[in-house]
């Protein structure tokens, strides 16, 4: 007997990140040693003072339903964080807590996007944006942002993409998968375009905000252009900064009508975020922040080592990311090469399977992020794993049946 499924599912693809994790788990279960560069989360535990707050919440009986928008203490902590770190003022009625940042993004699109609506998504993009737009009947309008432009959306490209049907622009900075971070000047240029198109709303995904390296700093567009605040939804959470991915706490800050609409959907979907996780998130936001600074320093050291090693491998070019914890690596120099078994690497999908089969290294294809010819590699893993993985890749690539000069010419381009 077959069971009919809703036609809306036809537009949805499985998450490549979750698929990669499953593939790694299966290979490890079969006895393979796999170095995993697919990881989209910190590889260290949640800081102990946050865990202790969660345990205390359990033992004190804080295990019941909460208000769908989140407990008052957490919304106050979020408001304090936004003022302290971003220079932004939001009241509790302008804040909503969800089961992770993804839950907030999904609910916001569900509340606002319908048939015939366009949502501008700069590419490379986080894999879920286009699918979530399509799931709600909208059309993701993909705007390619090349490496030559720093993988960032220009004001001219945005202006050309906007039509009367445009409902949202989704902006992710620091970016997954590229690590690109928009400067205040770049944000102001984008804001000026949006001010000329008052029907377009802006969603900023700032989940990686604490991970910026060198002299580059994350700035919220609301601080650059306050006039956008009445049609801006800021999405953030505690998952990345505090190694709390499994606690599932994200939040949105925006105009009251939109926050009410998101909250309404939460009442009929998840009811509320987990109480224990909300209590722990209060401690994360209000407690000592040394753990965030330590994580940032650790990721910067890992970034530097991964970029250094990858850029030495013929056929690979690794732009240095300014933020997040991913390297977005060009593998254009490997496409067209043949393996010793006679298989031609026709695209980045073939390349990641070659990495997995021949080097025991797992990565995610750039095509899943709207950027063929690239591969995403996470440096949210130890220096030892980074060194071992890059060594394995270099050895595997050296076995390709390709003229060395062909590969070498693409290096450091």
Start-end of H helices in 63-215: 72-86, 101-112, 128-135, 155-161, 184-195
What is the DSSP secondary-structure string of 330-370? Answer: E-GGGTT-B-TTS-B--SHHHHHHHIIIII-EE-EEGGGGT
Q: pLDDT (tens digit, 9 = 90+) per residue, 118-172?
A: 999 999 999 999 999 999 999 999 999 999 999 999 999 999 999 999 999 999 9
Return the CATH fold of 7-45+291-408: 3.90.1150
pLDDT for residue 405? 43
The contacts found for 187-192 with CB under 8 angstroms, 24 or more apart, are: 187/219, 187/221, 187/224, 187/225, 188/224, 188/225, 189/154, 189/155, 190/153, 190/155, 190/158, 190/221, 191/221, 191/224, 191/225, 191/227, 191/228, 192/155, 192/225
Q: What's the rounded Cα separation, in Å, for the pair 189 and 175?
A: 18
Q: Which of 193-202, 364-373, 385-394, 398-407 has the lowest mean pLDDT?
A: 398-407
For the chain, what is the mean pLDDT?
94
Query: Edge-to-edge strands of the sheet including 250-253?
Result: 95-98, 250-253, 232-237, 201-205, 166-172, 118-123, 139-144
The position carrying tokens 């916001």 is 108
Residue 95 CA to chain centroid, in angstroms? 21
Q: Which of 12-16, 202-206, 383-387 has the lowest mean pLDDT?
A: 12-16
Q: What is the mean pLDDT of residues 104-124?
A: 97
Q: How confident is the model at residue 17 (pLDDT cuts 50, 70, 90)?
A: low
pLDDT for residue 23? 78
Q: What is the mean pLDDT of residues 231-243?
A: 98
Q: pLDDT (tens digit, 9 = 90+) per residue, 184-218?
A: 999 999 999 999 999 999 999 999 999 999 999 99
Element (H, E) at 234: strand 232-237
What is the DSSP secondary-structure string of 82-108? Answer: HHHHH-----GGGEEEESSHHHHHHHH
pLDDT for residue 6? 87
Is 408's pLDDT higher than 60?
no
The position carrying tokens 């949006």 is 194
Give 364's Cβ-side CA count (13 Å radius): 29
Q: Euclidean distance between the first and final Cα of the chain, in Å? A: 56
CB within 8 Å of 280: residues ≥ 6 apart: 46, 50, 51, 53, 54, 57, 244, 247, 249
Q: Is the dihedral of CA 169, 171, 177, 181 positive or negative?
A: positive
Q: What's the rounded Cα separation, in Å, for the pair 45 and 118?
A: 40
Q: How confident is the model at residue 24 (pLDDT cuts 50, 70, 90)?
A: confident
Q: What's the rounded Cα separation, in Å, for the pair 322 and 174?
A: 8
Q: What is the mean pLDDT of residues 376-394?
A: 98
Token digits for 350? 């073939």
Token digits for 24? 């790694």
- Note whether 73 and 251 are within 8 A (CB): no
> What angle do the packed helices 48-59 and 275-286 form, to 10 degrees?
140
Element (H, E) at 123: strand 118-123
pLDDT for residue 1? 67
Domain 48-287 belongs to what architecture? Answer: 3-Layer(aba) Sandwich (3.40)
> Residue ranges of the domains in the chain?
7-45+291-408, 48-287
Token digits for 64? 């019941």
Is the pTM higher than 0.85?
Answer: yes
Q: What is the CA radius of gyration of the chain?
A: 22
């Amino acid at each position: 007997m077959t069971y009919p499924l809703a036609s809306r599912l036809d537009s949805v693809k499985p998450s490549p990140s979750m698929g990669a994790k499953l593939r790694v788990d299966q290979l490890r279960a079969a006895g393979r040693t796999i170095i995993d560069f697919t990881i989209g989360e910190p590889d260290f535990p949640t800081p102990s003072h946050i865990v202790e707050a969660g345990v205390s919440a359990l033992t004190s009986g804080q295990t019941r339903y909460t208000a769908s928008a989140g407990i008052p203490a957490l919304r106050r902590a979020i408001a304090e964080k936004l003022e302290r770190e971003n220079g932004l003022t939001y009241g509790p009625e302008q804040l909503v807590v969800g089961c992770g940042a993804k839950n907030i993004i999904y609910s916001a699109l569900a509340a606002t996007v319908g048939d015939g609506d366009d949502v501008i998504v700069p590419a490379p993009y986080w894999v879920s944006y286009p699918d979530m737009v399509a799931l709600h009947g909208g059309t993701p309008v993909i705007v390619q942002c090349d490496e030559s432009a720093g993988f960032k959306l220009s004001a001219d490209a945005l202006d050309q993409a906007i039509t009367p049907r445009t409902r949202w622009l989704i902006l992710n900075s620091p970016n997954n998968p590229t690590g690109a971070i928009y400067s205040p000047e770049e944000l102001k240029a984008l804001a000026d375009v949006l001010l000329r198109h008052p029907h377009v709303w802006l969603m900023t995904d700032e989940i990686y905000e604490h991970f910026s390296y060198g002299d580059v700093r994350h700035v919220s567009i609301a601080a650059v252009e306050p006039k956008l605040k009445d049609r801006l939804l800021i999405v953030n959470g505690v998952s990345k900064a505090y190694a709390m991915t499994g606690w599932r706490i994200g939040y949105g800050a925006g105009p009251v009508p939109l926050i009410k609409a998101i909250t309404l959907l939460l009442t009929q979907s998840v009811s509320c975020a987990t109480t224990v996780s909300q209590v722990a998130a209060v401690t994360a936001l209000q407690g000592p922040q040394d753990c965030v600074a330590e994580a940032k320093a650790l990721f910067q050291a890992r970034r530097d080592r991964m970029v250094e090693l990858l850029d030495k491998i013929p056929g690979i070019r690794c732009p240095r990311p300014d933020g997040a914890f991913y390297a977005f690596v060009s593998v254009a120099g490997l496409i067209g090469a043949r393996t010793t078994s006679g298989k031609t690497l026709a695209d980045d999908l073939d390349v990641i399977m070659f990495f997995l089969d021949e080097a025991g290294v797992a990565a995610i294809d750039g095509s899943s992020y709207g950027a063929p010819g690239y591969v995403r590699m996470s440096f949210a893993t130890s220096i030892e794993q980074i060194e071992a993985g890059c060594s394995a890749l270099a050895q595997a690539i050296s076995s390709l049946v390709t003229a060395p000069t062909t590969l070498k010419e693409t290096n450091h381009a």
